[in-house]
Each structure stands twice: as structure tokens, then as C-alpha cells.
Amino acid sequence: GAVVSQHPSWVICKSGTSVKIECRSLDFQATTMFWYRQFPKQSLMLMATSNEGSKATYEQGVEKDKFLINHASLTLSTLTVTSAHPEDSSFYICSARRRTSGRGETQYFGPGTRLLVL
Amino acid sequence: GDSVTQMEGPVTLSEEAFLTINCTYTATGYPSLFWYVQYPGEGLQLLLKATKADDKGSNKGFEATYRKETTSFHLEKGSVQVSDSAVYFCALLNQAGTALIFGKGTTLSVSS
């Protein structure tokens, strides 16, 4: 199957620090990766779409300078929450779409990263 | 814009009971529709999908039929098991085919 991992699974940090979350496709190449944010009892909200080798496309209302996304290779994308504040505390989920997928093909999701900013 | 509405949870059932989780959508055209499941401590997994009207997606005893006349994609299972306890998300693929739009999720709890 297609496996997507995220690291770390849990992170607690102090307000004002930056946190990097990694998303890896372990057994396939992903030209497109997606970053979502999930609030308790809420839907997954798409934050940004990243394509390998190009700048990420951010959804309306998402601050690109605060949530830095890098998709440097076909198997790795990173999300950096810069100068984190308590309101950034959330569950962050990434997904990846296979390189060979056509339009609308399945996305494979990582297990998520729980961020708590004190 | 595109949106997905699914029934509020939690849904609590006894083992072998019949399950229905309602999902309706608003979208331009006829988007592909999906049900994802999230087991405790795990990532979302695709449960089933349908790409055009009247298609029926099925997997692991779950079924959902794409109804364009009612813009719905309700999830059903005839006999649930304790292992089906999870959060279920209905989703559609936007018209550009670039992003999934999710409902809020419905928590299912099945007791023996």
C-alpha cells in the first residue's frame, strides 16, 4: 500500500518558537502534497497544496509567512510553523498524491501531528 | 463555494445494528465523492468512492450511492462491528481536481 508518515506525532513548544513538521511518502513518489489543519470536532481544512520543486499554493486566509511549506523532493514536504502562538495549537495532517495519479486520484494521509503551544 | 454537510455525531450503536451516516454536498458540476475513515491514532484512509452519478462505492461491507438528484452520498452498513468504531468523513473533490473538501466528520461508537 501507500504509506505516508509524519514526524513528530506530538510536539509541545513555547510561544514564539518555530516548529517543523515533516511529511514523507515512504513507498511512492508524490508530486503533490497537501497540508490540512483539524480543530476538535471540526472538518479538515486545507491549508496549502505543494508541488515538488515549486512554491506552495495557500488557501485563502492562511498566512504563508507563518506556515512555511517546502517540498524539496518527491518524498518529503515540511511545514514550519513560525513564531508559534497558542492559537496555532491544532492537529496538522498531510496527504500525498502519487506521481502517476491522474486527476482526482486517491490521496494518502499521514497520521497527523498534534501541536500544543504553551 | 463547494461544501459538504454530514450528520452530527456521535452515533452510538450496538453490534450488528444498521448504520446510516448522511452526507449531502454543494458543488459545481458532478464532483467525485469519497468516504474516509479515521481509526483512533491513525491517519485517514479511503473507505470508498464514486466518480459519477448513480455509481455505488463499496468496501468492507460499507456502501454509498452517488445521488445527483438529492446531491447526497449517504454511507450505509447492514451490520456494524465494534471494529468499525472510528470517525467517518465525507468529502468531495473540487472541480479543478486539486483539493478535497471535507465534512466535519461523524464519530461512530459500536458496543458489543
Instruction: Please name every residue paired with B85 in a beta bridge, in sequence order, or none if there are none.
Output: none
Exposure b/e, A64-73, CB count within 10 A at least 16 = b: eeebbbebee
pLDDT at B42: 80
The nearest CA of chain A is from the CA of B97 a distance in Å of: 5
Distance CA B43, CA B41 (A): 7
User: Predicted confidence band at A43 (pLDDT cuts at 50, 70, 90)?
Assistant: confident
- CB B98 to CB A93 under 8 A? no
Selection from B43, B19, B47 nearest residue B35 by Cα:
B47
Lowest mean pLDDT among A32-36, A41-45, A47-51, B7-11: A41-45
- How does pLDDT run across A72-116, given as a tens digit for each residue? 888 999 999 999 999 999 999 999 988 665 555 678 899 999 999
Query: Which residues of chain A neighbour B97 with C-beta distances below 8 Å?
Result: 103-104
pLDDT one digit per residue (tens) for chain B, 112 residues: 889 999 888 999 999 999 999 999 999 888 999 999 999 878 888 999 999 999 999 999 999 999 999 999 999 999 999 999 999 999 999 877 778 899 999 999 999 9
The nearest CA of chain B is from the CA of A118 a distance in Å of: 23
- CA-nearest residue of chain A to B6? A43
Q: What is the CA B43 to chain-centroid distance, rounded?
A: 15
Query: Which residues of chain B neighbour A34 with C-beta distances below 8 Å?
Result: 99-100
Helix then strand then coil, in percent of chain A rounded to 5, is 5, 55, 45
Exposure b/e, B36-50, CB count within 10 A at least 16 = b: bbbeeeebbbbbbbb
Taking a C-beta distance cutoff of 8 angstroms, is the pair A103, B97 a contact? yes
